[in-house]
Amino acid sequence: MSFNHTHTSLALFCKVVDNYGDIGICWRLARQWHHEHGIAVTLWVDDLASFRRLCPQVDAGAALQCVDGVTVRHWRGQDGVFAPQDIADIVIEFFAVDIPPGYIDAMARCAVAPVWLNLEGLTAEEWVEGCHTLPSRHPRLPLTKHFFFPGFTAKTGGLLREADLEQQRGQFAPAPFLARLGLAPAEQRALKVSLFCYPHAPVAALFKAWEEGAQAVACLVPEGVAADAVAAFLDGAPGVRTRGALTVRVLPFLPQPDYDRLLWACDLNCVRGEDSFVRAQWAGQPFIWHIYHQDEDLHHKKLRAFLQRYAGGLDSLADASLCWNGVPGVAPDWPALWAALLRAMPAIAARGAQWQREMQANGDLAGNVLKFAAALRLPGGKTQV
């Protein structure tokens, strides 16, 4: 039996670890489940202040609120006593967070156990296909949790993508949007680059290559990103400065819909983590990914796995991406790397369009989660364990 979505509830538990990436993904999913599928969604979040930067409607001091049709609860800790009627039909932990023990105990007391999923992080590594949807029995309660992996193949959960995203992008007019952000006509005519990276990215070296290059570049940076390199370039200027061929402009931190528009409006997007990484893929423009750092350089393996799928034959993109992430073996010659990347931009854009078609064939993450949850329900209303 499948879920009747108009009478289905879903609880999504999120702890903000990567500043904005974790809550960014969860907020997009929560809205999509509610608006496209009619599901009553409760989003549990531990850091409402970070959430508010992505969604200005959020009240950072509220314990309980409704934002854009989604119930938002401030996740203050692991204490709490819950009853079966408090439990959602679908319970999702984002990226292996530990939901409150009292909530789990109440899940076990439900007449029909909820579907319990651990929504994992995105990776292109091959092992994901073998782990996607694997069950894990609770050691003491009659509950089973399933691991659900987003990914890049039909044997994974796919990528997050709203149904009307392509239509919105097709109707977008960049010039008024860029003017609203304060860009002068010369900046709009330049090659526009959005910059969203972690602090250890070699931004100063890239700025120097842009400054001394022949191509005019307008670099648009959300406030607080690459703070040291941006401050050094601005040298006291109030938020924007041109030096050589490079103009750097600091933007206010943008809500999610405007960040999507920024990606659409730029010719190259430097993105980080998972949320902006996926949005760059749907933006249809060339991008460079700054992957989240992991111990023992495990992130380098993940980066190579993605580049192997995405950047075959695009050596300039692969080299720039590896160097941007500090992977040994590529000389950090940013003038040469940038020149090669610039020449390859048409080919990279063509690959991006092809990639979008391939990813669309896998369905979308929110819809695939619901299909899997419905498939777990057996005749008679019992959840498969």
- List, for residues 133-176, the tens digit of each pLDDT value: 999 999 999 999 999 999 999 999 999 999 999 999 999 999 99
- Equal fold, 5-159+363-376 vs 167-360: yes
Residues whose CB falls within 8 Å of the CB of residue 226, separated by 6 or more in sequence, listed in order: 195, 197, 199, 201, 203
| Distance (Å) of CA 78 to CA 13, 50, 118, 141, 212 | 12, 20, 17, 18, 54
Helix H segments across 60-156? 101-108, 127-131
Tens digit of pLDDT for each residue in 56-101? 999 999 999 999 999 999 999 999 999 999 999 999 999 889 999 9
The answer to whether residue 229 scores a pLDDT higher than 80 is yes
CA-CA distances (angstroms) from residue 49 to 52, 58, 66, 76, 221?
5, 8, 16, 13, 21
Catalytic residue among 274, 275, 319, 364: 274
Active site residue 274: yes
Using CA of residue 73, residue 36, residue 272, residue 52, what is the dihedral sign? Answer: negative
Task: Say yes or no to pLDDT of 116 above 70.
Answer: yes
Structural domain boundaries in the chain: 5-159+363-376, 167-360
- Encoding tokens for residue 281? 């893929």
Which CATH architecture group holds 5-159+363-376? Answer: 3-Layer(aba) Sandwich (3.40)
Chain CA centroid to CA 158, Å = 13
Q: At residue 213, does pLDDT exceed 50?
A: yes
Q: Assign 2 a pLDDT band (cuts: 50, 70, 90).
A: very low
pLDDT above 60: residue 6: no
* Residue 95 CA to its chain's centroid (Å): 13
The yes-or-no answer on residue 93 being catalytic is no
Residue length of the chain: 385
Residue range 167-360 in CATH 3.40.50.2000? yes
Question: What percentage of the chain carries pLDDT values higher than 90?
Answer: 90
Phi, psi of 371 (to 5 degrees): -65, -40
For the cut 70, the answer to whether the pLDDT of residue 3 exceeds it is: no
pLDDT (tens digit per residue) in 198-207: 999 999 999 9
The rounded distance, in Å, linking the Cα atoms of 163 and 28 is: 12
